[in-house]
Amino acid sequence: MTTSTKVLRYQLRDVLRSRVIASYGGFFLLSTLALVQLGGGLERALPSLANLTLLAVPLVSLLVTVVFLSHGRAFTEVLLSQPVGRGELLLGLYLGLAVPLVGLFVAGTGIPLLVSGGPAGLLGPSLLLLVAGSMLTATFTALGFAVAYTFDDAAKSLAAALGLWLGLTVLYDGAVLLASQQLAAYPLEKPMLAAMVLNPVDLARVVMLMAVDASVLLGYTGAVFQDFFGGIWGITIALTSLGIWVAVPYLVALRRFRRMDL
């Protein structure tokens, strides 16, 4: 067993015993159940659920990671004073957070969805929602690591995390819309595509909603994207870009972690 999996194993135990994390799964379980049962069927629940996921997953993943890392700094110190390399340790720490967060999201959203989604013929869209939500979790956990290792103190990294969330979920779309209005006279498809790839939340939104026919909720960049690619191609491209969005912040975090003084 590698050092990373050893670290992962013990950290999983620690993380899963924390109530904050467990209630994250509970939150998705309850809201999915409520949306499916009370919202008039799965077909109408899926878009709302997608929107909820797009807001809650980035926020919780970022905050949990930043808070956990600021508490866990001294523990990182203990592990690094063992014969453990920094790269292996970071991988263990990262998976130790990303795996339970993804797991709780998938369980909380997936169980009620799949139970009611199978028969209704919406298995595909349900699965895509889960996949995109998981990728989003992985991305924002990695972003949380990058933020936490960039700022030394907990308050600063918390503020930066909140700013990042607000920027990527709310402000970004507004800014894009504003820009598109101002520049309405120009051909904007290509810049809009670029704008979408530069925001993981936009990417996840496209994956989640392209499968459901809910173009209204796609947002400006998403609508352009659907026009441009559509179907399987679009989903593949969006998921690949999301994968890059996991890797890049992780590598930034790794770079900082290797040089960090504890």
Partner 1 sequence: MTDVRPLRDLGEHPVWIRMVGISKRFGPRRVLSDVDVCFRPGRITAVLGPNGAGKTTLLKMILGLVRPDSGAITVGETPVGADPEYRKDLGYMPQLPRFPQHLTGRELAAMLDDVRGFDDEPDGSLIEAFGLEGELDKPFRTLSGGTRQKLNAALALRYGAGVIVLDEPTAGLDPVASRVLKERVRREKERGCTVLLTSHDLAQLQEVADDVVFLLDGSVRFEGEITDLLAATGQPDLEGAIAWLILAETPSDPAGTGGTPCGPSIAPGGEVAR
Residue 96 or 219: the one with the smaller Cβ distance to partner 1 is: 96
Q: Which is nearer to partner 1, 18 or 23 (CB)?
A: 18
Number of alpha carbons in the 13 Å side-chain half-sphere of residue 35: 24
3-state SS string for 187-242: CCHHHHHHHHHCCHHHHHHHHHHHHCCCHHHHHHHHHHHHHHCCHHHHHHHHHHHH
The percent of the chain in helix, strand and coil, each rounded to the nearest 5, is 85, 0, 15
Q: How far is the CB of 1 from partner 1 (least distance, A)?
A: 8
Going by C-beta distance under 8 Å and a sequence separation of 6 or more, which residues neighbour residue 87? 254, 258
Q: For residue 250, count other CB atoms closer than 10 A to its CB.
A: 21
Query: Virtual CA dihedral for 53, 55, 56, 57, nearest 10 degrees?
Result: 70
Binding site for partner 1 (CB under 8 A): 3, 6-7, 9-11, 13-15, 17-18, 71-75, 77-85, 259, 261-262
Minimal distance in Å, beta carbon 37 to partner 1? 33
Q: How far is the CB of 143 from partner 1 (least distance, A)?
A: 23
The torsion angle over the Cα atoms of residues 230, 235, 238 and 243, rounded to 10 degrees, is -170
**CB closer to partner 1 out of 155 and 261:** 261
Distance (Å, rounded) from C-alpha 85 to C-alpha 189? 46
Shortest Å distance, C-beta 262 to partner 1: 4
Smallest separation (angstroms) from partner 1 to the CB of 75: 6
Nearer to partner 1, 97 or 113 (CB): 97
Q: Which amino acid is at 207?
A: V
For partner 1, which is the closer residue by CB, 44 or 73? 73
Q: Could you tell me the two tokens for 86? A: 């920094």
Q: Cβ of residue 9: shortest distance to partner 1, in angstroms? A: 8
Nearer to partner 1, 89 or 192 (CB): 89
